[in-house]
Amino acid sequence: MDHQAILKNNLSSYSSSKNDWWRGAVIYQIYPRSFQDHNGDGVGDLVGITQRLEYVCDLGVDAIWLSPFFTSPMKDFGYDVSNYRDVDPLFGSLRDFDQLLSKAHSLGLKVIIDQVISHTSDKHSWFEQSRMSAFNDYSDWYVWEDAKPDGTAPNNWLSIFGGPAWTWDTTREQYYLHNFLSEQPDLNFHNAEVRDALISEMRFWLERGVDGFRLDTVNFYFHSQSLKDNPSLDKEKINNTTAPSVNPYNFQNHIFDKSQPENIDFIKRIRNLLDEFPGTTSVGEIGDEQRQIELMAQYTSGDQHLHMAYTFDLLGGEFTPKHFSNSISSMKEQANDGWTCLAFSNHDVVRHVTRWAQHGLEDKFAKLAIALLLCMRGSVCIYQGEELGLSEADISFEDLVDPYGIKFWPRFKGRDGCRTPMVWQSLAHLGGFSNAKKSWLPIPADHLSKAVDLQEEQPNSVLNFYKEFIKFRKNHSSLKIGEIELLKAPEGIFAFKRFSQDASLICIFNMSEKEQVFEFPDDMKHEDINAPGSKKLNGERAVNLAPLETYIARSLEH
């Protein structure tokens, strides 16, 4: 393989300008309800986040991503927005946000905020007016359809949160579309006024100084106006990446209710808006179990679309070299000029330590996982608490608040288990998260033993390993913006090379729980490098890797 030719083709388009800070960046996701409670009501808030920004800065990350804090009835905990231009009183005020933004920027942190524009709350003024009649200024702002002659819904489309994607409204005497909760009606993107309004809402925050957007459910914006039924999906093709296995949403091939070609033009319009504010960025969440990589290629290729796309392929599946190799190969084949945002955990999925680690090996696994994530090609999202090696909390049914979990209990327990509050102090009330009598979700006792104050004092803690490896990544351009080449390796070992114009690194990971051996080819010259957690070879041609052990070397040819 001609590495120099690849570099010339791909790296030549990467600007060294500070405006490209997002490429290869490490982004820390904050779930505001659970980060830090300042006012003592048991729910995190913006002032609490501001108070903890030094901690985030000390991790060495480049940016924070704030999950929604906008005005909301909180049926889906902020992902049901009733006012795009204000802060919900639960989280504070616009002044609190401005202070958070200013503090973050003073620390060198960029601020990315969620934009949930595929749908609104049913309490948004737009929907309240739209449902009043079929003949008003907002009547066509949502997706309204008459019932079939027998009174049933217009088609067979399903909601991700269970049941039909249509709800009958007794005021308009029509059905409205909602891909999520019935309290989250879908906006009609086929209406130009809707598109104009949403661009205006986004401009409001850019003018306020935010550094970009994470675009929730970015492929759900448009629906097919044909309203054809979705066909069923062959059982062998069901992969349960967008919805849990107990959800019949997986049984359909979602050809008509999302991922429509009209989406491309609106994405271009978002990019044009962002280009008015140099240095801003975008990352789109793509939820499409059949077309993930294809859509990523469409949505991020070139310089007219989104900067990055955030997919589900590493938020599930098996922790095996095969799964990871397939993901990387698919990206290279279909979307090599696009850019991905990698993550193992977020606010919607079971924490990856629980998904993938064997009992008793959680901390060792957490270190291997972050080393692997930070060595792969793309930008990286770290979800709050994963840097502590937190496991999924086991929430009782009585304590559940997530409607998704309540709907599909007990086979699927919802998302509350990954959303429990951060633990700052092991001996403090509620782990230092709040001085309220009770937090909005319970804090597991085993999380307290992993609190920040304990791990900061332990040189070999998961937290300190995260800090060390983030710093290591920053010091190597090949890890931030370089290309990737998969290497042949024995079963259980995942190996690849990262290379840039400056240097080349060889990254080898034993993803299994037994000792493995990787032998370097005779023509692959290398030398040890001071990577966190990496063993030393001193020129040996074979690497004996203990379970979940890493070896990173500098290639002497690139």
* 503: CATH: 2.60.40.1180
Helix-helix angle 192-208:94-106, to 10 degrees: 60
283 near 274, Cβ under 8 Å? Answer: no
Distance from the Cα of residue 35 to its chain's centroid: 17
| Any domain includes 142 | no
> Is 525 in the same domain as 389?
no
Range with the poorest average pLDDT among 26-35, 116-125, 531-540, 546-555: 531-540
Q: Enumerate the active-site residues.
A: 216, 276
> Is 498 in the same domain as 469?
no
Average pLDDT on 162-171 reads 97
89 near 53, Cβ under 8 Å? Answer: no
**DSSP 8-state code for residue 156:** -
Range with the poorest average pLDDT among 169-173, 362-366, 554-558: 554-558
pLDDT in tens, 496-520: 999 998 789 999 999 998 999 999 9
> Is 202 in the same domain as 61?
yes
In this predicted structure, the answer to whether residue 243 has a pLDDT above a threshold of 90 is: no
pLDDT score at 265: 98
pLDDT in tens, 253-295: 999 999 999 999 999 999 999 999 999 999 999 999 888 889 9
342 near 378, Cβ under 8 Å? Answer: yes
Computed over every residue of the chain, the mean pLDDT equals 94
| Any domain includes 134 | no
CATH of the domain at 357: 3.20.20.80
SS3 of 261-290: the string is CCHHHHHHHHHHHHHCCCCCEEEEECCCCC
> Is 229 in the same domain as 333?
yes
Beta bridge partners of 283: 214, 308
> Is 242 in the same domain as 103?
yes
Q: Which of 100, 96, 70, 74 is nearest to 84 (CA)?
A: 70
| Rounded-to-integer distance, Cα 535 and Cα 311, Å | 32
User: Which of 473, 493, 524 represents a domain boundary (last residue)?
Assistant: 473
> Is 299 in the same domain as 367?
yes
pLDDT in tens, 318-338: 999 999 999 999 988 888 888
The answer for residues whose C-beta is within 8 angstroms of residue 95's C-beta and 6 or more apart is: none
| Any domain includes 153 | no
> Is 313 in the same domain as 411?
yes
The tally of domains found in the chain comes to 2
pLDDT in tens, 298-310: 999 999 999 999 8
| Any domain includes 224 | yes
Could you tell me the pTM of the whole model? 0.95
| Any domain includes 546 | yes
Average pLDDT on 166-181 reads 98
